[in-house]
Chain A
Amino acid sequence: MQETKKDTGFEIVTREDFSDVTYLLEIRHPLMAKAARPGQFVIVMLHEHGERIPLTIADFDRNKGTITLVIQAVGKTTKEMQQNCRQGTHLYAIVGPMGIPSHIGKAKKVVCVGGGLGVAPIFPQARAYKESGAYVIGVVGFRSRELMFWEDRFRACCDELIVCTDDGSAGIRGLVTAGIKQAIAKHSDIDEVVAIGPPVMMKGCAEATRSARIKTMVSLNPVMVDGTGMCGGCRVKVGGKMMFACVDGPDFDGHQVDFDDLMFRLRRFVPTEKAALERWQDSCRMKIPPIERLELPDPFEEVKGG
């Protein structure tokens, strides 16, 4: 019933911190664990006064009845979640799985690319491709070795794993696009590339595969309210046509997506977001560690998570 749900919400069963900004929440929701497929997302509300934020599903466990989200604390809501979401606490609302699941086709050789906040959600795709019998090359990007996570999970489902770090402390030094180039150079028969991460990274990935004419799917995560096609806030330009990422996507052909348009639209609420964050940090009763950079990540810059 509505009333009881208000009190209890959705239980967080596990919390794990990968770094000072990236954390994992595992949430009990047996129905969603059963329904979720790779590429889908959820909309989360932390509390009754919260905003609805879209988050890509990073993993789901049908036996345990849980879904996993990996979140980067970048704005007011995600920082507040980082502070308040502990094992045993509850989220006010979570709805999904939303969006059309990724099409796991008959591709024989696939490159799965994850960078920043995209490292976690690329995992179920890599696993699904592995289960479909494809040869999976994983490319994951981190700032440095200390921030790496889930290497074991990726190793278990990838035939090859290319780790890219900014400082070269693990794997190759450079962006994930360097990893893609390395994979393309080694394998001439790649059928498909799947890339999830910040828009500028996905744009780079699409450019890296354009000349080789490799089908490249990207997962878009624009500003949304309802996630059911009702508000139209998530509209994106794909192949010159307007699409709603929540119901027509979130996966689109990376070679058709107008990434600049997406990045401009992601800046829509930057002033209000900034004000909300500053206000929250000022009024926050709990002591929070000093944050090095107060400004929100610019969608035009690559944000490296992990």
Chain B
Amino acid sequence: MATKKKTIRTIPQERTPVREQDPQARAKNFSEVSLGYQLDDALREAERCLMCPDQPCVRGCPVGIDIPGFIRKISEKNFHGAYDTLTDTNLLPAVCGRVCPQETQCEGVCTVGDVLAPVAIGRLERWVGDLAIKEGWANIPYIEPNGFKVGIVGSGPAGMACAADMAKAGCDVTVYEAFHQAGGVLKYGIPDFRLPNEVVDAEIERLVRLGIKFECNTLVGRLFTIEQMISEMGFHALFVGTGAGYPSFMGIPGESFNGVLSANELLTRCNLMRAKEFPNFDTPLQPGRRVAVIGAGNTAMDAMRVSLRLGAEKVYCIYRRTKTEAPARAEEIHHAEEEGIEFHWLTSPVEILDDGKNNVRGMRCIRMELGEPDESGRRRPVPVAGSEFEFEADAVVFAIGTNANPILGQTCKFKLNRRGYIDADDDLATSITGVFAGGDIVTGAATVIEAMGAGRKAARSMKAYLGLRDSDVVYLPERAGGAGKLFGIDLSERGYARVRIA
């Protein structure tokens, strides 16, 4: 079986479906929408991988997971091995399997996808990650401390990825978080029905077992500055991954009425502060009956689906372009449609209206049409003259993107770009020696896996800066360009114990 070469004709033709909660039922609860694969599903789907020599999926992955490698181990029923292969490059498989936009990354370039539906790499990754959490597996190599102290500012995906790599390299790593719980956007932003907070906690616990220290309730910049961390607190290198969280508003009249809020506020109150369990948890959230969410990105989809679960009767998506241009993942829009979100494409609000007591009662909107393509390549929406109309809503949520968080710029001497993001070079080094930055605070809002990719890239630069040998050079010399030999020893002869070189 294993020796027989698979071809596009011999593999299972249909992509193994994943069971999902019924749209009617799930719109009323916060349990996960996708129930994930069972063992049989995973084995069947793993058979669909052709093990093609080209491996476009690995290049499609921002962190370069050995995808055929872990799928092969699933087929061989070596599930722990599959987990080890995954976590060699990605510490958070249960998270990434859930929230990565695989259709534009690994699955988007899958060879099988040329003819059939691509291999469901994300679902397989999630299955392995969940199994590891259930079984309590952890991929913790032998770590020889090297005496370097590394600080990570922000415990979101970028910070976690960087922290994991530096800890594996033997550094003493401390992660600082301003909130009372670690996890960043995975905790406050992504709702439980897409990524349960317990999964995030389980993955963070793995990092703690790697020796990483998490210091919550610490606002870097204000409690101590980046400069103080280097000069007084003895850090040899720092990574800044504070994210872009500074929500944008449109600047239209009525934005300060009660009932208008940012998607960040709605999601933070609901996800991190558990306002959905009010009054068992103290944080309030004024429920809306008819909620209009402005924007059509992933955050907008989350805000809509959260509003629905909080008991809104009607939830509307207001977007100035069409479904084709919507930045959200196709799967998210599909889920939102299934749950009964009403989409109003080519519509833009021009004013928020109140009931005379500063509470939102609706919006004045204008119809749009698509004109010439703009710099982003998408067709620019142009207002249709005289098409204004009133739209009833008692809550308006802005999910139109975020800007750079200003705190580190205010307090530390970073060179910022003109939009207020930290200026970093190709190696993610900032203007302060020994300080690296990555994720949304450098690039602007992006995805979880891109932030993790940036965190790992920064870790490579940080190791070079500290004079540490990159572990890829040791364990994956073929990828690091070692020409098939490691310390002059042919790779086929590698029978050595796994040791830390740092």
Contact = CB atoms under 8 A, between A and B. Distances in A.
B13 interface: no
B268 A1 contact: no
B179 interface: yes
Interface string A218-255: 00000001111111110101000010100110000000
Contact of A31 (B224, B406, B410): B224
Interface in A31-85: 31-32, 35, 40, 45, 49-52, 76-77
14 contacts: A2-B182, A51-B283, A95-B217, A96-B219, A228-B245, A229-B245, A229-B405, A230-B188, A230-B405, A233-B265, A242-B256, A265-B256, A267-B358, A268-B258
Contact of B217 (A94, A225, A237): A94
Given A230-B245, A242-B256, A268-B286, A100 B265 contact: no
A225 B245 CA distance: 13
Nearest to A32: B223
A51 B273 contact: yes
B319 interface: no
Interface stretch (B96-104, B246-254, B322-330, B364-372): B246-254
A261 B256 contact: yes
Contact of A1 (B188, B214, B218, B405): B214
Contacts of A233: 261-262, 265
Contact of A232 (B249, B278, B284, B407): B249
Given A93-B216, A95-B178, A231-B247, A226 B268 contact: yes
Contacts of B251: 242
B269 interface: yes
B136 interface: no
Contacts of A235: 249, 255-256
A76 B283 CA distance: 11
Interface residues of B, number: 48
Given A229-B245, A247-B246, 4 more contacts: A1-B214, A35-B223, A52-B273, A226-B178
Interface in B197-223: 208, 213-219, 222-223
A264 interface: yes
A229 B403 CA distance: 10
A225 B246 contact: no
B232 to A, nearest CB: 10
A294 interface: no
Nearest to B403: A229
Interface of B: 178-180, 182, 188, 208, 213-219, 222-224, 243, 245-247, 249, 251, 255-258, 261-262, 264-265, 268-269, 273-274, 278-286, 358, 405-407, 410
B280 A95 contact: no
A186 interface: no
Interface of A: 1-2, 5, 10, 31-32, 35, 40, 45, 49-52, 76-77, 92-98, 100, 225-233, 235, 237, 242, 244, 247-248, 261, 264-265, 267-269, 271-273, 275-276, 279-280
Given A49-B281, A51-B273, A228 B405 contact: yes
Contacts of A280: 279
Secondary structure type dominating chain A contacts: mixed
B258 A1 contact: no
Nearest to A91: B217
B223 A272 contact: no
Instruction: Kindly name the residue among B217, B243, B283 whose own CB sees the greatest number of chain A CB atoms within 10 A.
Output: B217
A76 B264 CA distance: 24
Given A2-B182, A230-B247, A51 B282 contact: yes
B71 to A, nearest CB: 34
A226 B222 CA distance: 14
A100 B286 contact: no
Contact of A96 (B223, B249, B262, B285): B223
Contacts of A248: 406
B188 to A, nearest CB: 8
Contact of B256 (A76, A96, A237): A237
B310 to A, nearest CB: 12
Contacts of A276: 278-279, 282, 284
Nearest to A267: B258
Given A2-B216, A229-B245, A52 B283 contact: yes
Contacts of B278: 272, 276
Contacts of A279: 279
Contacts of A228: 178, 219, 245, 405, 407
A258 B269 CA distance: 26
A77 B268 CA distance: 19
A247 to B, nearest CB: 5
Going nearest first, the 10 A-B pairs with the smallest beta carbon separation are: A272-B284, A230-B245, A231-B265, A51-B282, A93-B180, A232-B262, A264-B358, A232-B247, A51-B283, A95-B217
B208 A1 contact: yes
Contacts of B281: 49-51
A235 B285 CA distance: 17
